Structure 1
Amino acid sequence: MASLTYAQAALKAAQDAYTKQNPLSLQAHQAAHNSLPGGNTRTVLHADPFPITWDSGKDATLTSIDGHTYADLLGEFSAGIFGHSDQRIAQAVQDAMKSGWNFGGNSRLEKALAHKVVDRFRPSGIELVRFTNSGTEANTTCLGAAVAITQRRKILVFSGGYHGSTLVFPMALMQGLLKTPSMNLPHEFVFGAYNNIPETKAVIAALPQDSLAAILIEPIQGSGGCRPATQEFMQYLRQVTDETGALLVIDEVMASRLCFSGYSAAIGIRGDFVTLGKYIAGGMTSGAFGGRKDLMELFDPTKNQLFHPGTYNNNVLSMNAGLIGLDIYNAEEVDRLNRLGEDVKAKIQQVLIDEKIYPEQLPSASTNLIEIDSFKDKAEVIDISTGQSLRKLPPMFITGKGSMLNIRFSGPEAATWQALFWHHLLTRDIFIAVRGYTPLNLKVTATDAENYVSAIREFVQQHKAQLLAQEPVALQDIASVLQPKPAVAISMQVAATA
């Protein structure tokens, strides 16, 4: 009889129970293969053995076509920071629609939203702004502009970075170990190790003189595991661009949610270009880029220098929703949501400390793990609260800042444990990203937060021994590994073409 590791066996049991719990989602997924490759049009939303198909959302809850309702702690990867049914935003969309849409021209709305964005994010470096259809477009436009302005080709990016669907930089890609072809734009990318000043210095020193056009950086990596950059690292990059004439492009598509005027402003760094997205249009489709006045004025059509079209850049739905959304997510709400996130993080870390998942040198719930990547040596992990260095990451840990949190796993079976954790939360009626990303939204309640912490405590207590020392388990013992909640009777139907 073949053997599986404990984690593999537990995951198989969880997936079997999940399949029984969600028959209509399975049917919808299978039917979708007739028109979508893999039944999917957005890779990050896939989950094995199949994703849940949602029927509706309200406040901070999602209800599936199988009739299950979950507390939504994913918030559409930050775009859904307002929840699923804020009536103020719904009214703003309806009001915009009343006067028609697709004007093929200017309206008062983009002018009003631009004024609000510049007024709010000026401390991060946005003196003028232009809108796009997404954060991806904002980043690609800034890189194109940097190459055009500097007449240079090299762009420095960092391990774990994600700046849109054509700007993805996992460590495996940088080490030449990626097993799938990259779809990244064909810029002359130069790879740097995130948070690592000495190795970044060496990379820059090896470049031909006057070849670096831009440095592209997330001050907190979203897709990369909610990993904060150190202030020293960001200051170093600002210094490099000042000295070389390259442009510093700060991707605040996610990170800007952490501070009223953007995360860069909070750590005293101004970008030459700063990109925004996700939540700035009230959850509608939008993005933006802004920056130094002298750079942004190159997009002035009367000066005929940089060309930036886009049919829906100023669409009335996004513009009007953004006007309301930025008022809703004001300074007080930013602070409130961050406090909730920090409280959740501290409680989760206390669970990991109490259950001995964290090593003895991390005795405080205020622990803030900072990862320093390396292409030459093993990555270093520092508890920035104490300055103490760890030999390796704990088998299960939490990273992030404020309302951006990420439960993560380390070791050779990290992906298996991550998937098992996701399934465990579903059995407790909690929905997050498969990769453990948990960006809290404004509709999340204190009860939702407490339930999340309790579900994590249950997971750790159930799997503690195996997390610390993974052991194989016989295939015939799979059923005893996990005890799923009982199946719910389903009477709903789904169309074959769903």
Structure 2
Amino acid sequence: MSSPGLFADEEHSYIASQVASALASFAAKNPKSAKAHGNATAHMPGGNTRTTLFSNPFPLAIKSGAGKTLTSVDGRTYIDFLGEYSAGLFGHSNSLIAETLITAIRNGWNFGGETLVEKELASKVTKRFSEGGLDLVRFTNSGTEANTLAIGTAIHWTGGRKKVLVFSNSYHGATMFFTMDLCRWVHFKSSSPRPAPLASNLPHDFVMAPYNNVAETKTIIEDLPNESLAAIVVEAVQGGSGCRPATFEFLSYLRETATKLGAVLIVDEVMTSRLGPSGALAAHGLKADLMTLGKWIGGGMSFGAFGGRRDIMDVYNPANGVNTLWHPGTFNNNVFSMSAGVVGLNIYDEQKVHEFNARGDRMKAGLTQLLFDTGIYSKEHAEHLKDIREIDSFETSTRVYTGNDDVVPLPKVLISGRGTMLNLRFTGSDAGLWHSLYHHFMLEHGIYMASRGYTPMSLEITDEDVDNFVDLVGKFMAIHLDELLRKK
């Protein structure tokens, strides 16, 4: 039997060589993308203006999109399972959205005045998300901006309280990303250098707690000074870190705690708002004090929104004259996003919400069955599938599945998410290499997806596409099964 050290070296050698081969093959087959990337490095750091789109050895350069497909400058066409990270819900050429945008162009843009279409969209949004707690709404240009303003609103509303509770591996936009390493460093007060955040985080007084962990979150909150907590910011499913769904127990605790302490519960629904007719939180029968929304509600255009309780949002009413917050923004009510949003909400009605997320359930069920058929999931995992989730513990620094307080070790591969927010994920020290290998395998077989395995897809995707996707994952597993079944 190999020694532990040799075993680890053999495992690393296998995946490293496989990735090297995949990257070389990709580079050879995509010379025009390579050239476009190389030329762009003269004008943009890393040849890129959006970090999430970078992948080694270079990202594909996309020439065009239509329906559910994307075509690269190298002439290869891919079925798009990325769906613009959930913003591209309607695909790349929806005729109804295209028609309304053409009309907007013909009638002019950038008016510097209010329009009827922004008022129509506001009416639709408040009706759509009222069950989640949204009474009044303000439009922004992105989800990042919406979350920034929601936090500022909470601090103002609570009389200047400063502390904002966030969770491990949460992502609330380009200026609010809290890695697990950063959260552990804060709580362990390690003497090692502070880990650099992956984003230029806003300088709020953030308090970090472990996602989905009621016990440790409760301890952290109880240690805060009285009347210091302004807001709790949470995603019902963490889109930026593997599609981890929050449990009802966790969300209920946060709702009760915010009410008890007089803090504002901000639910980031930038991605999750498409998971239910009134969003992901409302599906749990809970309401936010403030919620934030993202680009799919603007038809995939530049868009964001924040809104919530009438008494809180009324601080933005200019007619009040007292205690009013200022919220300008040249493009807040731009005719493109407003017009596309009205049409988009008509398309993605309650029936479509259920049909679309059922397609996600179909995909998750297929991948889950595949993980059992290959032996990657064990009988122990079967007992916890109804409420399968990850807990990151600051005390033990371990990652485990938990259900009914039982502990089950993580498999090498897992599928997590809810509805159409899905992520096939790899675990262990070589997870990054496995993600790269998986990503390039799927690209080679005509599937476009996030390099981290995120596949929110669009309305253009069919059941046949989903079944084909599952079959391809099965082929990937078969090729590397011996390594995937190795004990860590």
8 A Cα contact 1:380 1:390, kept in partner? no
| Deviation of 1:365 (Å) | 11
- Show the counterpart of 2:15: 7
Q: Letter of the aligned partner of 1:234 in structure 2?
A: L
8 A Cα contact 1:155 1:212, kept in partner? yes
Q: Which runs of 5+ in 2 are unaligned?
A: 1-8, 186-193
Q: Letter of the aligned partner of 1:275 in structure 2?
A: T
- Show the counterpart of 2:450: 433
Q: Distance in 2 between matches of 1:314 and 1:379?
A: 46
| Deviation of 1:447 (Å) | 2.0
- Show the counterpart of 1:98: 106
Q: What's the secondary structure of 1:279's corresponding residue?
A: helix
Q: Which runs of 5+ in 1 are unaligned?
A: 472-498
Q: How does 1:247-266 map to 2 (within 5 A)?
A: 247-266=264-283
- Show the counterpart of 1:41: 49
Which range is displaced more, 359-368 or 68-77?
359-368
- Show the counterpart of 1:489: none
- Show the counterpart of 1:167: 176
Deviations 1:108-164 (A, max 9, x none): 010000000001100000000010001111000011111122110000000010000
8 A Cα contact 1:380 1:391, kept in partner? no
| Deviation of 1:179 (Å) | 4.4
Q: Letter of the aligned partner of 1:127 in structure 2?
A: D
- Show the counterpart of 1:348: 367
1:228 paired with 2:265, answer no
- Show the counterpart of 1:22: 30
- Show the counterpart of 1:480: none
Q: 1:337 aligns with which of 338, 356, 362?
A: 356
Q: Distance in 1 between matches of 2:110 and 2:119?
A: 16
Deviations 1:262-307 (A, max 9, x none): 1111101111101001200111110101100001111001224111
- Show the counterpart of 1:495: none
Q: Distance in 2 between matches of 1:178 and 1:59?
A: 42
Where relative contact order (Cα < 8 A, 6+ residues apart) is larger, the structure is 1
Q: Distance in 1 between matches of 2:251 and 2:327?
A: 28
8 A Cα contact 1:128 1:292, kept in partner? yes
8 A Cα contact 2:183 2:208, kept in partner? yes
Q: Indicate how the Cα distance of structure 1 residues 351 and 181 shifts in structure 2: closer, same or farther if over 3 A, else same.
A: closer
8 A Cα contact 2:242 2:425, kept in partner? yes
Q: Indicate how the Cα distance of structure 1 residues 186 and 62 shifts in structure 2: closer, same or farther if over 3 A, else same.
A: same
Q: Distance in 2 between matches of 1:347 and 1:95?
A: 42
| Deviation of 1:383 (Å) | 6.0
1:307 paired with 2:305, answer no
Return the structure number with greater helix share: 2
Q: 1:86 aligns with which of 85, 94, 97?
A: 94
Q: Distance in 2 between matches of 1:255 and 1:330?
A: 15
- Show the counterpart of 2:70: 62
Deviations 1:57-88 (A, max 9, x none): 11111000000001100000011010000000
Q: Distance in 2 between matches of 1:280 and 1:310?
A: 18
Q: What's the secondary structure of 2:134's corresponding residue?
A: coil
Q: What's the secondary structure of 1:308's corresponding residue?
A: coil
Q: Tell me how large the CA RMSD over aligned residues is.
A: 1.7
8 A Cα contact 2:210 2:394, kept in partner? yes
- Show the counterpart of 2:119: 111
| Deviation of 1:378 (Å) | 4.3
Q: Distance in 1 between matches of 2:70 and 2:115?
A: 34
Q: How does 1:21-420 map to 2 (within 5 A)?
A: 21-150=29-158, 151-176=160-185, 178-179=195-196, 182-304=199-321, 305-363=324-382, 368-379=387-398, 381-382=400-401, 384=403, 387=404, 389-420=406-437
Q: Indicate how the Cα distance of structure 1 residues 278 and 195 shifts in structure 2: closer, same or farther if over 3 A, else same.
A: same
Q: Indicate how the Cα distance of structure 1 residues 257 and 232 shifts in structure 2: closer, same or farther if over 3 A, else same.
A: same
Q: Indicate how the Cα distance of structure 1 residues 124 and 181 shifts in structure 2: closer, same or farther if over 3 A, else same.
A: closer
Q: Distance in 2 between matches of 1:182 and 1:116?
A: 33
Q: What's the secondary structure of 2:379's corresponding residue?
A: coil
Q: 2:484 aligns with which of 440, 446, 467?
A: 467
- Show the counterpart of 1:487: none
State the aligned residue count: 468
Q: Letter of the aligned partner of 1:58 in structure 2?
A: A
Q: Letter of the aligned partner of 1:253 in structure 2?
A: V
8 A Cα contact 2:182 2:197, kept in partner? no
Q: Distance in 2 between matches of 1:441 and 1:364?
A: 31
Q: Distance in 2 between matches of 1:366 and 1:189?
A: 33
| Deviation of 1:367 (Å) | 5.2
Structure 1 runs of 4+ aligned residues shifted over 3 Å read 179-182, 363-368, 378-384, 387-391
| Deviation of 1:364 (Å) | 7.5
Q: Letter of the aligned partner of 1:300 in structure 2?
A: N
8 A Cα contact 2:101 2:340, kept in partner? yes
Q: What's the secondary structure of 1:19's corresponding residue?
A: helix
Q: Letter of the aligned partner of 1:257 in structure 2?
A: R
TM-score, structure 1 normalization: 0.91
